[in-house]
Amino acid sequence: MTQMRNCLSRANKHLFTGIFALFFFLLCQKSEGQSRCAVSHDSYHENPEQFENWIHELRKVPPAHRTENTATRIPVVFHIIHQGEPLGEGSNLPLERIEQQMTTLNQDFRRLNPDTLATPAAFLPVAVDTQIEFVLARQDPDGLPTNGITRTRASLSTYRFQDDDILKSEAYWPAEDYLNIYVSNLDGFLGWATFPFSDLVGIDEINNNRLTDGVAVDFEYVGYNPEAREFESLGRTLTHEIGHFFGLKHVWGDGGCSEDDFVQDTPLSSTSYQGQCPTDEVESCSSIDMYSNFLNYTDDACMNLFTFGQRGRMALVLQNSIRRSSLRDSRALGTPVMQANDLGITNVENPEDLFCDTSFSPQVGIRNFGTNTVTNVEISMLIDNVTLHTLNQELELNTGATTTLTFPSVNFETSANQDLTFQVVSINGVTDENSSNNLLEITVPPATRVPLPYLEDFESINTLITRTEISISDHWERATAPYLTSTDVAGQLNFHGSQRRLGEFHYLLLPNLDLTDVNSASLSFRYAYARLGLSDSKDGLLLMASRDCGVTFDQVLFSSYGEELVTIDRTITSAFTPTGPDDWQEVELNITSILDPNLRLAFVGQNGSNNNIYIDDIQIIETELQAYDIGITNVTQLPVVTCTNFISPRITVENFGFETINNYNLQYELAATSGQSSVSTELVSGGVEANSIAVSNLEDGTYTVTLSSNAPNQETDQDRSNNTYTRNFVINSESVTLPFRETFDQPDQWVTVNPTGNAIWTQQDQSVQAAAFATGDLGSAHWLVSPVLNTGSLTEGTLRFRMAHAQTGVANDRLQVLLSVNCGQSYDQIIFDKSGEALSTTTATTAFTPTEEDWREESIDISQYMIWEEIRLAFVFTNGGGNHLYIDEAEVFPVRPSFLRSFERSIEVYPNPAQDNFAVTLDMPQKDDIVVSLVDLSGRIIAQFREPNGLNQTYRFQVADLAGLYILRVAGENFENSRRVMIRK
């Protein structure tokens, strides 16, 4: 999955200059125009650790033998997605620019680029020929000759990163055989690429469908273009993006000195050099930065090398990664072999897979794959292998051209599936010289309508009506799936280890339904699913509706993926088969609003190559709904603890009745106030919509709000049980400036709340306790929320806290630390999440009180959030029926975790003696307005600065010009201390 870098900056984030400076790392860089690349360290299809471990293991395997200097050839196709300009103008690039680009790619990857002399001397020993070459595809997916370039009129004026799927749908050749390069007018980025993935079982490619695999590049940066907006283009934007396509990360690791690109011979770096072109050696992580690497952000004129390590990483990907390894042997590399007379049947246009009428006129698409012009064709249509009609038609079809042939009307009046076959008999009066594409067969299901009630339990041996996006073997089948007995049978999606067509949809089609005089209906089914181990893969199950008898399925009635789809509570390490009722989950849906004479339903599985999905007991029955029944199903955007003085909850309601609702009321009750709004709508039976209701001018305090829906069409709601929703929330505007420490001796500034009941956080013996033992409120979430934390001038931060918890039996208590960047309106960032045994520090069968040995320290890097003016932290304990949990000494340090120091004294200098520079770390008992001074033995002040929030900071002094004995003094209203510092030349 490709992902955009989030680059934000803030004017008051400043760096101390001169002789001292706060430790910090630059988060990211962004130019005033387009950013160079939308690929970052998050652009993995699977867990990054999983991918890197895969690469690490591959490095242990001896490489396959290859002849020295023999390059791997990669077939490419340029899809020019233009705005309708004449050929050679604007985004409809001329052939010359594409040829320039191909020359640049091959020079850069083979280290034949003219500017190799500009490679800094420090990196000449590792600069290398990657032994990868690029070839314009010689044959298209149908085996016909091509120049490796397609031209398509764009559907959008510009394409943003989030439009990637639209861009790739404009033109596509199979990613197993072609490196698809999409050239168009891009907005926001000069280019992006899809990252490769491992061949491990269970990888997740739901968000990286094969149809979007490839590279995108802005048309201005293809080939040589001295007029490009950001810099003079030499064609290296594509060199950079193809590096990502083959598994390379940015050489600065998309982070600071602690972030690696996992290539040994590219030194750590903390900057991208975007918009820069250094001429001298530069350092950012105590080593010379490789700014001239193709995977940096320097201008094209400053890029000139790949390294040995990068070559090795790309070679491993090309040898082992799905849809990378297959490129090496693609038929697109070879010159097509054509017959003189070769006609192929490409598709069946009518009927589609399904139809409503028993009578139709079949239509087939044909294409001339031969060198001769086709002037006459003879094609037969067979039903269940019996010839029904032979069509003899005159035409003129040049090489590569296509057309559609229409057969006389056919009548299907059976209740069973029938095989409909089309076959080429002759071409130009002779036998077709290539029989491999002469025959195409489809199964035509019966158009007979089935009355309600309808039941499919999969016990009888009926032929399943299935289809896929691509004509390959389907994954739907009948299989043993125990429910009440060990011999129960269900429908199975056999996705376990099925990697060949990751992301593809597989349809199981229900029959046409007779809905005559049916006013309301419901559909129910059971499903079972388990993921392999802790895999992040996401198999999917959907229920979709069609109102044209199955030609197009465009309405999703049910959708569930990955963890949400899981129905069992045990770990599975092999192909899943359910064992009994506890492994199944039931779903019931109101389908009244979609009742239509041409309704067709389909269960659709999306292949994530993880494990098997089962469905059973599909039942559709006529129902007797209430006429008017509207209920609240969900409420979002209702804060738990926020500093804003208003709320605007978004209330989701559903029409549970059979009458269409044109208006209804939403109400709120809060403290001594109430309000109401009238909603005009057109909400069909089973329909769902969301609306907001606002309450303002709230003071700090704890509130309980009750939301309700009523009066559908100004009638009495006939079922009041689902009309109200009640929640607790807190308005709290307390704020402090970082750094910050809370010992919980008297945590007055912290807020506790349980959105659905009574809070269990209490102050307990100089710590704070979530009193969960034997409380009985399973699943209840209890919030402990910090005041608003002003980040001030900080650019780095670490949250450190101590915790103690006892595991009790098989209970599954959970602690999360959430972070808000909008004052508590939402807590979207999960920075800590542990449960069960991973959370516990000991075990206990009685109410837990910790000893000193039971405490554990946790440290979390929150530097990426220091770009915000304010943040807020929430410790959220979810009661899983276990034991008490304790939190103490919550502290935010202005450095990353790797720079935390633990000292017994309140001020520490290191290294001491020092040379060139030294650091000073404070650990003061409380926040103070301090002055830090470096003085010599005569009392002369060498350097001095004021820190109004002195607490636990670390400072670095640059002292290359000093030598001798000096005194470091820290003085404030409540604190004064000093240390001797020896500085040596």
> What are the residue numbers of the active site?
241
Closest among 739, 752, 735 to 644, alpha carbons compared: 735
Contact between 238 and 221 (Cβ < 8 Å): yes
CA atoms within 13 A on the CB side of 233: 25
Helices 95-109 and 236-245 meet at what angle, rounded to 10? 60
How far, in Å, CA of 249 to CA of 626, rounded?
Answer: 59
How far, in Å, CA of 480 to CA of 954, rounded?
Answer: 64
Peptide bond into 597 cis (omega under 30): no
Contact between 516 and 599 (Cβ < 8 Å): no
How far, in Å, CA of 816 to CA of 875, rounded?
Answer: 6
How far, in Å, CA of 407 to CA of 388, rounded?
Answer: 10
Q: Which residue has the tokens 């009574």?
A: 758
How far, in Å, CA of 501 to CA of 208, rounded?
Answer: 12
Pairing of strands 928-936, 941-950: antiparallel
Q: Quote the tokens at residue 833.
A: 């999440």
Contact between 856 and 873 (Cβ < 8 Å): no
Q: How far is CA 295 from CA 39, 371, 885, in A?
A: 11, 45, 47
* Strand ranges inside 325-453, DSSP E: 343-350, 359-360, 363-368, 374-383, 386-397, 402-406, 410-411, 418-427, 439-444, 450-451
Q: Which residues pair with 934 in a beta bridge?
A: 943, 968
Q: Quote the tokens at residue 67.
A: 């002849």
Q: What end-to-end distance do the CA atoms of the chain give, in Å?
A: 52
How far, in Å, CA of 881 to CA of 779, rounded?
Answer: 8
Phi, psi dihedral angles at 320 (to 5 degrees): -130, -20
Q: Which residues pair with 668 in a beta bridge?
A: 675, 707
Q: Which residue has the tokens 């490409």?
A: 346
For every residue of 742-773, which 3-state class applies, written as one string? ECCCCCCCCEEEECCECCCEEEECCEEEECCC
- 436 exposed, middle or buried (CB, 10 Å; 0-12, 13-18, 19+)? exposed
Closest among 419, 402, 399, 397 to 410, alpha carbons compared: 419
Pairing of strands 418-427, 439-444: antiparallel
Helices 48-59 and 308-320 meet at what angle, rounded to 10? 100
If DSSP codes are grouped into helix, strand and coil, which group holds residue 56? helix
- The one-letter code for the residue type at 256 is G
How far, in Å, CA of 241 to CA of 244, rounded?
Answer: 5
If DSSP codes are grouped into helix, strand and coil, which group holds residue 214? coil
